[in-house]
Amino acid sequence: GPNGAGKSTLSAVVMGKPGYTVTAGSVTLDGTDVLAMPAWQRAAAGLHLVMQYPTEVPGVSLVDMLSEALATRGRPSDELPALLRHEASRIGFEERFLHRPLNVDLSGGEKKRNETLQLAVLRPKIAILDELDSGLDIDALRDCSRRVEEMSNDSSAGEPLGVLAITHYARLLTELRPDHVHILVRGRIVARGGAELADLLEVEGYAAFVPEEELAEPPVPARPGSLDELFAL
């Protein structure tokens, strides 16, 4: 979907970010009401968000964070260092970054590789990728999307990873091939189909599915008594 469609809002609501009120609908995971859980329980139950803008956490190492996350899930962390090195090599994430505080002094592409690394280690049931392709160069996009594609087809440790991939562009879907495509505009799904829908979207643009005036972001209303009022005239 285009800017302002509600894609990141959807991911925030599903993961339990404060500040949102759900007025209708439901979200369930294995028959359990997700909306009744605090955010940490949603993560422990198997939901995982790969953030559009990964947060830097000074003073907390990647190893310590993942050790705590595995402990919360009742999984051992004895082999975590070796697993991290293995997963890092698969996506071109330099080993020296494994010992830094979480995401501190990493480039945008390195942060996305780091997010993909965490996803591979934690092995959730459902991964929400909020614009994994944002800020990535061609190599990083290929490495990260291929690793997610592999996890979505790997049933060796149980059910394959389920993926909700949020993106503006079809380039992500070159490696991460979708089973279903939904086009979201102004909070509404205006079209749905298979991978061919993403290919059509790349050629026709969003205007082929909704009137052009609906694609424009709504104007911000002027605040009474402010300079906005003057410039709105």
Tell me the pLDDT tens digit for each residue of 152-206: 999 887 889 999 999 887 888 888 999 999 999 888 899 999 999 988 888 888 8
Residue 137's contacts (CB-CB under 8 Å, 6 or more residues apart) are 109
**169-199 burial string, b = 16+ CB within 10 Å, else e?**
ebbbbebbebeebebbbeeeeebeeeeebbe
Q: What is the pLDDT of residues 87-121, one digit of tens each?
A: 999 999 999 999 889 999 999 889 999 999 999 99
pLDDT of residue 219: 52
Q: Are strands 162-166 and 181-185 parallel, antiparallel or unpaired?
A: unpaired
| CA contacts within 13 A on the Cβ side of 107 | 8
Starting at the edge strand found earlier in the chain, the sheet holding 126-130 runs 47-50, 126-130, 162-166
% helix, strand, coil for the chain, step of 5: 45, 15, 40
pTM here is 0.85
